[in-house]
Structures are given as structure tokens and as C-alpha cells.
């Protein structure tokens, strides 16, 4: 029952995550994804596809991931589920909607769409 309730809020969560990233630097995130430097992970967080990315890109990823964690915790608390579960469910949606050319994490590692 809790999963069903949580699944019903995923569209608004996805929109919220997009909006959370906008004030940080949406253009930089889009560029980092397009350049194959970062990608979406199975846990609902951004990951470094290329570990040698600049400190600026790493800081961007850390900032967005901190905002995502706060949102996952808020939603998890509201729905009585662990934040990790919120992240995993969000990842399924975000990975499914990844643009061609972007990297996403799979069970066997990074894959380019």
C-alpha cells in the first residue's frame, strides 16, 4: 500500500527534482550530462561517469545530490518509507526518460542511451 501511494507521487517528485536543480545551474548540469561527465544512478542520485571531471562539475553533482537527498527524506517521512526507496523509485523514472546520448547506470555499469 505504501509503495502504491509513493508511486502516485513520482510525477510530482520528478518535476520537483528538475526544479531543485534549476537554481543550482541547469545549463551546467545539462552540459555535464551531454558531455558524458555525469549520469543518473540506480539509487536516484547523480554519479560521475568520468572521475577526472573538473572540481566545478564534482561540486555541481554534490550540490544536486544534497538537494535530492533532502527531498527524498522529506517524501519518505511524509509517506512512511525509507528515503532510499524514494530514490530508487525516482531513478527508475529518471533513467527511463534519459535523453539519447546520456549515461545511465545499469546493473553492469554505465551505459550510454
- pLDDT confidence bin for 28, thresholds 50/70/90: confident
Q: How many domains does the chain have?
A: 1
Q: Give the pTM.
A: 0.77
Instruction: Write the DSSP assignment of 40-91 as a string of letters.
Output: E-TTSSEEESSTT--HHHHHHHHHHHHHHHHHHHHHHHHHTS-HHHHHHHHH
Q: Which residue has the higher pLDDT, 70 or 31?
A: 70
Q: Which residue has the higher pLDDT, 89 or 4?
A: 89
pLDDT digits 0-9 by tens, 37-93: 999 999 999 999 998 888 889 999 999 999 999 999 999 999 999 999 999 999 999
C-alpha cell at 107: 546493473
Residue 19 in this model has a pLDDT that exceeds 70: no
| Of 113, 81, 95, the residue nearest 6 (C-alpha) | 81
Domain that holds residue 69: 2-112
Amino acid at each position: 500500500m505504501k509503495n502504491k501511494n509513493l508511486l502516485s507521487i513520482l510525477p510530482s517528485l520528478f518535476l520537483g527534482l528538475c526544479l531543485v536543480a534549476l537554481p543550482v545551474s541547469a545549463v551546467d548540469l545539462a552540459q555535464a550530462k551531454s558531455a558524458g561527465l555525469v549520469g543518473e544512478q540506480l539509487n536516484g542520485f547523480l554519479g560521475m561517469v568520468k572521475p577526472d571531471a573538473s572540481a566545478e562539475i564534482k561540486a555541481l553533482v554534490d550540490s544536486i545530490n544534497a538537494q535530492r537527498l533532502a527531498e527524498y527524506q522529506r517524501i519518505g517521512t511524509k509517506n512512511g518509507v525509507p528515503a532510499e526507496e524514494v530514490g530508487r523509485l525516482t531513478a527508475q523514472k529518471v533513467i527511463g526518460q534519459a535523453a539519447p546520448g546520456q549515461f545511465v547506470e545499469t546493473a553492469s555499469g554505465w551505459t550510454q542511451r
